[in-house]
Chains A and B, each alone.
Chain A
Amino acid sequence: MIPVYICGIVAVYAVIRVVTEKKTLRKLVYLNVMNFAITGLIVLAIPDIMALFAGIAYFVGSTLEANAIASTFAGGVANE
């Protein structure tokens, strides 16, 4: 059970850091830690092949979201 508790505690800690951080771009870095912890929780809670797919889809999707938000802040497509 210890790995599950570690993932849960890290996720809650990361959420607190996201809420207290003022700059949006730096919020994304803490949000990344939360995504790691939640992905770990999904797979540890349900050790099944479909939960693995769900965990990976969650992680890749959240990375894509972070990428989109950060790129928009940096000036969007015009600045690519």
Chain B
Amino acid sequence: MPGVVVNIIIAVLVCWILFIAIDIIFKLPEKGGVSGAAAIGTAIAEERGSLNGGYMMGNIVCSPDASAGTLLAACGVFVAGIPGGLVAALLVYIGNRICHDPGYAGTTGALCATFVITGFGLIGVTPDAFIAGMVIAILTIQGMSHPYASHLLTKLWGMRA
């Protein structure tokens, strides 16, 4: 039992760093990729939030980004190992194109996550811990406090820009 909890804590940290880093490298906080993402960013900024962080949160809602890629790759690896992760990456790519996403954050995230999760599997952190880890990681960004999360993302974006 304690082993499972430790695995999930490791998975949360790895997922959080992985998806935030890839999203920021792919410039998600720069602007809303589609008009809906820009509108969500503006709505978050109006409620004591920050605009760039809001744009990134809007982009996460409106298209499968690196966070979605990480979750679906974890699901793929859980069910079918590396081939499952690659199938997830392909389907994320199709999802990106359907959503008119100009970037490749989702596909890159899914590919990176497939190999990271497989690597952690070798040292005993199971893929189902990564599924729970990614759900908690996205909860901390999208589901707790929008003003706090958007300011944090804007600060991290400031280091990149």
| A64 in contact with B61 given A36-B71, A52-B80, A59-B68 (CB within 8 Å) | no
Asked if B87 CB lies within 8 Å of chain A CBs, one says yes
| A13 CA to B134 CA, complexed, in Å | 16
For B83, the closest partner residue in chain A by CB is A49
Contact flags B2-20 to A (C-beta < 8 A → 1, else 0)? 0011001000000000000
| A6 in contact with B47 given A17-B143, A29-B40, A73-B39 (CB within 8 Å) | no
Restricting to B28-55, which residues have a CB under 8 Å from any CB of A? 34-40, 43-44, 47
Q: Count chain A residues whose beta carbon lies closer than 8 angstroms to a beta carbon of B.
A: 48
How far does the Cβ of B76 sit from chain A's closest Cβ, in whole Å? 6
Instruction: Check if A60 sits within 8 Å of B43, measured CB to CB.
Output: no
For A34, the closest partner residue in chain B by CB is B143
Specify which of B57, B71, B78 is in contact with A47 (CB 8 Å cutoff): B78
Q: In the complex, what residues of B have CB within 8 A of residue A48's CB? A: 79
Instruction: Check if B79 sits within 8 Å of A49, measured CB to CB.
Output: yes
Majority DSSP secondary structure for residues of B touching A: helix
How far does the Cβ of A22 sit from chain B's closest Cβ, in whole Å? 10
Instruction: Check if A3 sits within 8 Å of B62, measured CB to CB.
Output: no
For B100, the closest partner residue in chain A by CB is A67
Instruction: Check if A36 sits within 8 Å of B135, measured CB to CB.
Output: yes
Specify which of B38, B61, B75, B95 is in contact with A74 (CB 8 Å cutoff): B38
Instruction: Check if B135 sits within 8 Å of A32, measured CB to CB.
Output: no
| A56 CA to B88 CA, complexed, in Å | 7
Most buried by B among A3, A7, A29, A55: A3
Instruction: Check if A70 sits within 8 Å of B99, measured CB to CB.
Output: no
Q: In the complex, what residues of B have CB within 8 A of residue A23's CB? A: 43, 47
How far does the Cβ of B6 sit from chain A's closest Cβ, in whole Å? 11
Q: In the complex, what residues of A have CB within 8 A of residue B99's CB? A: 63-64, 67
- Interface set of A (CB-CB < 8 Å, partner B): 2-3, 6-7, 10, 13-14, 17, 23, 25-26, 28-33, 36-37, 39-40, 43-44, 47-49, 51-53, 55-57, 59-60, 63-64, 66-75, 79-80
A-B contact pairs, 12 of them (CB 8 A): A2-B132, A10-B136, A25-B43, A32-B142, A39-B75, A43-B79, A52-B76, A64-B95, A66-B36, A67-B34, A67-B36, A67-B62
